Structures are given as structure tokens and as C-alpha cells.
Structure 1
Amino acid sequence: MKKLCWIGSPFFANEMTALGWDVTVIRQRTTRLLTWGEVVATCKGEPDAVVLGDASLPPILAGIEAWPCLTAFHCVDSHIHSWQPVYAQAFDLCSISLRDHLPGFQGKILPDECLKWLPPWAPDNMRPRDVDKEWDLLFAGTVNRETTPKRFTFLTELKRHLPSLHVTHGDFRELFPKARVVLNYCERGDLNFRVFEALGTGACLLTPEVGHGQDELFTPGEDMYTYPADDMDALIQQAERLLALDGPCEQAGQNGLAKIDAKHRASHRAREYSDWLRSQSDKYRSRRLAHVADIHDGVLKLLYLHMAEGVANHELRTQYLRLSVATPPLI
């Protein structure tokens, strides 16, 4: 059984265990540099592969360019962190959640064939529930004037026009099935997990047109309904049309759920990712290890200097400055 160390956001790491991987998860939620020696100690031996699951943290793997096993990075927040395409060059493989950002990762040190579009997914246990509908139109998620200002302003204005809009937060598994229509709003134009999670509960989803392959995964007007991003008038018109009739909502909910159950749950992504890791010959790892100095000097040096300039923590700043000088030894 191959040993896999999954660092950061666990995503579908647990589903990998059913596919023959001995998985150790290191949940990294704070900016602390992790060394190869710590990984080996935590895994009780050298892993065959390391995956960094994007936890919206700055670079946290010290000397990753020289780690001796297969390495992979799954990027979710490339719409927030412009440095991710640079950091990805230090890995053997990189999967990207937002398809339209793939060109930003291409044409650099990491061969284009080592990049993969891996869209979001719904958890396996996020399913429809037989409950009464409590709300006509529901938005569930963070709505904060400081942290999500565009969303706050947009939803505040929308509620003036559609008083039946209910805004709350909590467990999506409990909330989504109670709405006739689930509204999605993307603060930064990303194809977010809420699309898949809403459809995974059998909800009728009304979501913005964002690109990133959304219309290739789900058919607007059949599996879900869409509105031009930030177009208040179009959103109001679409919402009022859906709420006037039950049939289209129910049918879209059934169709969207069928697509999720067929292709877009965590277990599907785990299978695809597992097959991808296992299919890799040793050439990518060997290529990286043969060019450690080039990767460091040509990619990571400037990135670490940039990170050192932007952090307030003195110890972390010092660590980034040390990493900018040379690849650290494997300890």
C-alpha cells in the first residue's frame, strides 16, 4: 500500500483510503513552515507522495523543490493568490480548480502535461432531505461588510427588491433542502463549491455566469439557472420567473442532482486524483530533482523574498529570507 501525506485542506483525502492509499493528513491552518523531516516523522516513514491541499495560506513547505517523493499541489484560490502559479513550478504535478486560470500556470518550468483541471465537488454525504420548504429564495454563507463587501452590498440591495430573500449561514446540508431556490453569488468570479453543494442536495440553483467550465459541467436552463454576474435586473427577473412556477425548479433540482451523483462527488475526484498520481512515471520527480537549483534560483528565490517583505511575524520573515538564499537540507 502506497503511503500518501496530505497537507493543508484535506478535501477528498479521506476518500483516498478506500483506493488503496495509506493516508496521513496534516491539517495546516496557520502559516508555519513544514520540513521534510517533520513529514517523515508524522507519517512514520517516508511517503510515496505528498499533496498540498490549498488552505489559502502562503508557501508552507520548506525546500519542497528537493523533497524526494512525488509532490502535487491542488490550487483552489488562484483567484485570490496571484503567487500560486509561481509556487506550483516547484512541484511535480499541479491541479487547478478554476479552469480559466490554467494559462497562468503554463509555459513555465513545470511541463504543461503536469497540469490538470480539477473542478470542485460535492461531499458524498451531502444529499437531498425530505423536508418542507421554508424559504422561496435562500442565500447561505458569509455576508460581511468588511470581508465580503461586494456580496454584502449586492444582497442588501437585492433584498430591497425581493423581500422573500432569506440570508443566513450554517450547515448547507440542513439549509439548502429547505429552499425552493438557492442563490449563489461569487465575490471574485470563481466557480465555487456552493454550486456543487447546492446541486448535491437536489436544490434548484440560481448562480452567476462565471466561466471556468461551469457550462460544460452543467447545462443552464436544465441542471441549474444562471444570471449575468452582478446584473441585478437580470437576477430579479430570473428569480421571479422561477418562483412563479414549481415545475422548472423541481426538474432542475433533479437534473442537477443526477449530474452530481454521476460525476461530481468527492469520491469521483478522489478516484480521478488517485489514478493521476499512480499513472505518473518517475520522470517528473527525477526531472525536478535534477533541476533543484534552477527551480530555486529561477522561481522560488524571488517568491520567498516577496513573502518575507509582506509578513509581520519576525520569525517567519527570517525563515523566508533563509529559504531565498538556498534550498535547505532535508532534515
Structure 2
Amino acid sequence: MKEKLNVCIVGPFNLGVIALEQLGHSVFKVPHHSEIFCNLPELLKKNKFTPDIVLQVENLGRRTLIQGLDDFDCPTIFWATDPHLNLHWHNSYTKLFDQVLSTQKSIVPSFKEEGLSDVRWLPRFAYDMVSPPIADRKNDIAFVGRLSDQRPGRKWMIDFIKKLAGDRPFPVEQSLSHSDMLALYQDTKIIPNESILGEVNFRLFEGASGGCLLLTQDLGDEQASLFEPGREIDTYADVVELEEKLKLYLGNDSLIQTMGQAAHERVQSEHLPIHRVERILQYAKDTARNRVSGPDAKKWEAITVASMWESGMLDFPVSDVLSRLASLKQDQHVVVATLRIQAVVGVNSVMEDNLMSLLGGKLYENSFCLNLTCSTAALRLGNWNMAKAFWYRHLKSADLINKLPPKTPKDLLILWAKELKQRKLIFRGGFPFNARNHLPHTAIDCLIILYEADPGDSEVLRLIDVMLRSRKELDQARGSFLSSLASNSLNDWRLTFELAMTNLHSYRLDDGLNKMVLARDIAREQGQEKAFIMALKCRDKSGQISKRLRNN
């Protein structure tokens, strides 16, 4: 690769453009346009720009799908900035690129499981800002982020902090411009952080850019590798620990100054846009040609459109979506995408004809995804025998013919849920699954269908709990199911204990502590207090919950 490069950037990375130009490279920034599709070869030819690298940075506000990527002789790279919420369409669109960069290290294996060979971690970036002295800042705490009924945990966090902060300045903003938000951070001492699905989010980097003390959820090694807990940021596992940390820091300007300055220095040394640009250029040097091309490129583009339309994020005529799929050479991926769109539209007779053809022609018998889709589509249509037939096709292909046959639709959905769990397809972040419209793609989707049919079914509630238990970031959702389950099992201290922990992870201090006391008392009455103590010790890493219990 030559020393000075022509780099084409599609998407919101203006600071990256500046950094590239400072390094002596030439940049063509694709201008904003209202159409979802961008014929990039045609645009670059018109502007007489021959790229050495094509980089698309995901735009969270306006989606752009690049056409013609297979025409380029240079590396093509997609930087997924929100893969934890958009994997349902990223996993098809990214096949059009040679290399995928994920802001979330934890999502890299998920991309690779979709068959992508070159996926690398590239975190979000921070900003080159001045860090004013902490003592000169007006606000003790501030929060910028959306508050809605869809995010109850965030509202509970804000209410909890307001109560604890008392009369201290604590602005909460939802609609600031980006520049005004950064200015607010420069005038704030402490930034509490809460993420949607346990992801390392922009707020971490933005707050550190202004030299604030970030008080953020403990997200493990990925976050700790970016900012050192206890020195550059601080973390909490639950609302009890958050309360203790806030009491420590509020009014302690000297300690906040030390840690905020350390975070700011880390930003300056590792997390500025120029650092990300240098890493992208380094990655591009050893990028092989991995993208699909020709008919496969058209296929995955059409499947991407279908996936986006199915999730409700694309304003596009459904007839165009289906015609794109129909124009392709049919394979298991195209058929699955088509069935999912047909299910949303509700063309039941067409869908049933397609299922009959697939079953009668013994087509794609070894495809797990197709058998799942067809079996659950048949359930939607009320065709029990057909639903079972696709399940049996799956058993035969997976050499699992010794399994007990399902006797009811409920049995069948539970069997599919367990198969999906084995494949680590438990939950899709960002996809608004609707049991009336969508066909299930994950274990939780299958169980939600059963839950909505009978919200009091203890077997289904327990299975949902089992599926979600390992996903701490889903505790807010898990709590509502646990509440229903615990109300049917008042003497089960373990359920009450789990409900207490979900409340404490969701900023509900009083409810969480009260239920923890109740769980302890039930365990004590049943002679299982030692088991309760061991369970709490495993989950209460800071020891703060145990300390509170000793006072109750």
C-alpha cells in the first residue's frame, strides 16, 4: 500500500476526515443524500476520485446502503458502531465488505459465527477537549440521554441519584446538541453512566474527554482495557455499590480531579480520532479480499433490505422488498427472508403454498434456520402436522431422532427455544419482536409467543428466566418475568433472591433490599440460610449488599 492514500469515507466521521488529512492523505467524504442506496462507484467516477480504501462508518440516524462495493480493487471496511442493536441486519450487510470493525469486542464472535473471516475490535473514539479544573465546575452531576418508558432502568437511576444528590446541581438533559453536551460535561464533575445492553457506549468516551469522573456499570475486561477502574474511572455492580461510590465522591473534589485528569490523559494518549484512524490504516494493510461479489452481492443486499424492513427501521414499499428477493436465485437464505416478510404482511395462503413446496420437494432439509422458520410459520397458520414435519426434518439433519416428539404447539416452541439456546441464539438486541407479526429467530422469541398466550404459565416463565439469567444486561426485562414467577412461588427463596438482584441491578434500592431480606428470612425458616449466604457471596463482589443485610 502506498504511503499517501486516497480514502473514501461514507458516514459520520468528520473528525476522522480531519485526522486523515493531517496525516497527509486525501479524503473524499460522501455527501449527505436522502436516498438509502448509494451507487458509490458511479459517485466516485463522477468526482474523479480513485480510492485506496473505502470505509463506511455506521450512521445511527440515517441508514445508507452502498451499492457496487464488489467493483473496487481496494480494501472495503465497515465500522459497526452499534452492533449490539443492529446485528439482525449487520450480519448480512457486512458480507459485502472485506473487513468489519466492531465497537463492541463482545460482538466480534457473533460476527464470525455468521461466516465473516476478518472482524476486528475498534472502540468508539473520544474528543480533543480542554479539561477545566474540577473546583471551577458548576454541576456536581449531570446526565444526557433519552428517558422513556422503554428504558425504565434509566429513569429509576435518575430518580435514585436525584434523591441522593439532594440540593446539589444535577441537570438531566435529553435533547442537547452534541457541542452543548460536551460543554455541559466540561462544567460537570461526575457523569453517571448506564448502557442499553451492557455495551461500552459513547458516554464513557465523551465524559472522559472533558475530564469528568465517569461512574459507570462494571462491564468487565473490555471496558477496563480502555479506562482503568479505580484510577481513571470507577464502576459499580448494583445500586447499593453506586450509592456507596456517590457518597464517596460527592464533595470530594480532590479525588475527582485526580481521576478525571487521569481519564483525560488516557483519552489524549489512546482514544482520539487520530488514534482510531491510525489503527484503521494499519488494519487495511493486511486486509484480504473477503467480500461477496456478483449475484451473491445482490443477494445479501436484498436480504439486508428485507431484514431492515422486517424490523421496522426501513420505510420502503414491501412490494419492492419482495420483488428484490424474487429476482434472485432461490436458496435457503432467500427463502427464509421471503417467509419472514410474508409473515409480517400476513399473506397466509401464499406462505402456506411455499411451505408445501419446500416440504414436498424436500428442499434445504439440512438448514436449521429454514426448518425453524417453516415450522413456526406453519404454527402461525395452524397447520400442526406441517409444523411437526419441519421439526422432524431438523432432527434428522442433526442426527437427533431419539428425541421425544412434541405433543402440542407449546412443546414444539419449547423444543425450538432449547435448540436456539444451544446455538447461542438467545436474544436479538434492537429487534422489536412482535409475536403477532414476526416469526421467531431466537429462543426468547419462541418463549414470548407462549408467554403472551398464557402470562401465568410457570414452565414458560422459568424457561425465560433460565435463558436470561446469564445476561446481566437484561435484568430489567428479566425482572418483570421473575415477578410473575415469584408471585406463584412465595416460599421459593431462590426466586425471591433472583428478583432482589434484578431490582438492585435496575436501580431499585428499597425494593431490592426488602426482597433480599425476605429471601434471607424464607431461607432461614427452611434451614437453608447457609445456601443463601453462599449465593449472595457469589453475586455480591463488593460485599456492600451483605453489609446492608447485617443491619436488617
Aligned counterpart in structure 1 of residue 199 of structure 2, from 190, 201, 210? 190
SS in 2 for 1:110: coil
SS in 2 for 1:307: helix
Higher strand share: 1
Matches within 5 A, 1:163-182: 163=166, 164=168, 165-168=170-173, 169=176, 171-182=180-191
1:293 aligns with 2:298: no
Which residue number corresponds to residue 121 of structure 1?
Answer: 125
Q: Render the CA deviation track for 1:64-86: whole Å, top value 9, x for unaligned.
A: 34544321100011111122133
Which residue number corresponds to residue 252 of structure 2?
Answer: 245
Deviation of 1:98 (Å) = 0.7
- Measured in 2, the distance between the counterparts of 1:20 and 1:317 equals 47
Letter in 1 for 2:11: G
Deviation of 1:267 (Å) = 1.2
- Measured in 2, the distance between the counterparts of 1:155 and 1:123 equals 26
Structure 1 residues 198 and 262 mapped into 2: Cα distance closer, same or farther (>3 Å)?
Answer: same
Letter in 2 for 1:215: A
1:20 aligns with 2:27: no
Which residue number corresponds to residue 268 of structure 1?
Answer: 275
Which residue number corresponds to residue 240 of structure 2?
Answer: 233
Which residue number corresponds to residue 69 of structure 1?
Answer: 74
Q: Render the CA deviation track for 1:116-164: whole Å, top value 9, x for unaligned.
A: 111112122x22135722122222x233325755423431343133333
Deviation of 1:35 (Å) = 0.9
Deviation of 1:58 (Å) = 4.5
SS in 2 for 1:274: helix
Percent identity reads 23
- Measured in 1, the distance between the counterparts of 2:210 and 2:107 equals 28
* Greater shift in the superposed pair: 172-181 or 266-275: 172-181
* Greater shift in the superposed pair: 78-87 or 143-152: 143-152
Which residue number corresponds to residue 155 of structure 1?
Answer: 158
SS in 2 for 1:101: helix
Which residue number corresponds to residue 303 of structure 2?
Answer: 302
Deviation of 1:106 (Å) = 0.8
Greater gyration radius: 2
Asked if 2 retains the 8 angstrom alpha-carbon contact of 1:5 and 1:39, the reply is no
Deviation of 1:200 (Å) = 1.9
Structure 1 residues 148 and 136 mapped into 2: Cα distance closer, same or farther (>3 Å)?
Answer: same
Structure 1 residues 301 and 61 mapped into 2: Cα distance closer, same or farther (>3 Å)?
Answer: same
- Measured in 1, the distance between the counterparts of 2:120 and 2:12 equals 18
- Measured in 1, the distance between the counterparts of 2:190 and 2:159 equals 18
- Measured in 2, the distance between the counterparts of 1:152 and 1:89 equals 38
After the TM superposition, list the runs of 4 or more consecutive aligned residues in structure 1 that deviate by more than 4 angstroms: 27-31, 65-68, 146-149, 294-297, 308-312, 314-317
Matches within 5 A, 1:64-143: 64-82=69-87, 83-111=89-117, 114-124=118-128, 126-130=129-133, 132-139=136-143, 141-143=144-146
- Measured in 2, the distance between the counterparts of 1:133 and 1:215 equals 27
- Measured in 2, the distance between the counterparts of 1:67 and 1:50 equals 9
* Greater shift in the superposed pair: 150-159 or 305-314: 305-314
Asked if 2 retains the 8 angstrom alpha-carbon contact of 1:74 and 1:96, the reply is yes
TM-score, L = length of structure 1: 0.83
Unaligned runs of 5+ in 1: none
Structure 1 residues 108 and 180 mapped into 2: Cα distance closer, same or farther (>3 Å)?
Answer: closer
1:200 aligns with 2:200: no
Which residue number corresponds to residue 255 of structure 1?
Answer: 262
Deviation of 1:34 (Å) = 0.6
- Measured in 2, the distance between the counterparts of 1:311 and 1:80 equals 12
The Cα RMSD (Å) is 2.9
Letter in 2 for 1:177: Q
- Measured in 1, the distance between the counterparts of 2:296 and 2:316 equals 28
Larger RCO (CA within 8 A; separation ≥ 6): 1
Aligned counterpart in structure 1 of residue 40 of structure 2, from 33, 36, 40? 36
Asked if 1 retains the 8 angstrom alpha-carbon contact of 2:55 and 2:77, the reply is yes
Aligned counterpart in structure 2 of residue 5 of structure 1, from 4, 8, 24? 8
Asked if 1 retains the 8 angstrom alpha-carbon contact of 2:103 and 2:123, the reply is yes
Asked if 1 retains the 8 angstrom alpha-carbon contact of 2:91 and 2:114, the reply is no
Which residue number corresponds to residue 225 of structure 2?
Answer: 216
Q: Render the CA deviation track for 1:22-62: whole Å, top value 9, x for unaligned.
A: 11112447561111344324642332221111102556112
Letter in 1 for 2:232: D
Asked if 1 retains the 8 angstrom alpha-carbon contact of 2:308 and 2:314, the reply is no
Unaligned runs of 5+ in 2: 330-552
Letter in 1 for 2:233: M
Q: Render the CA deviation track for 1:6-36: whole Å, top value 9, x for unaligned.
A: 1112252321122232111124475611113
SS in 1 for 2:120: strand
- Measured in 2, the distance between the counterparts of 1:220 and 1:325 equals 53
Structure 1 residues 30 and 42 mapped into 2: Cα distance closer, same or farther (>3 Å)?
Answer: same
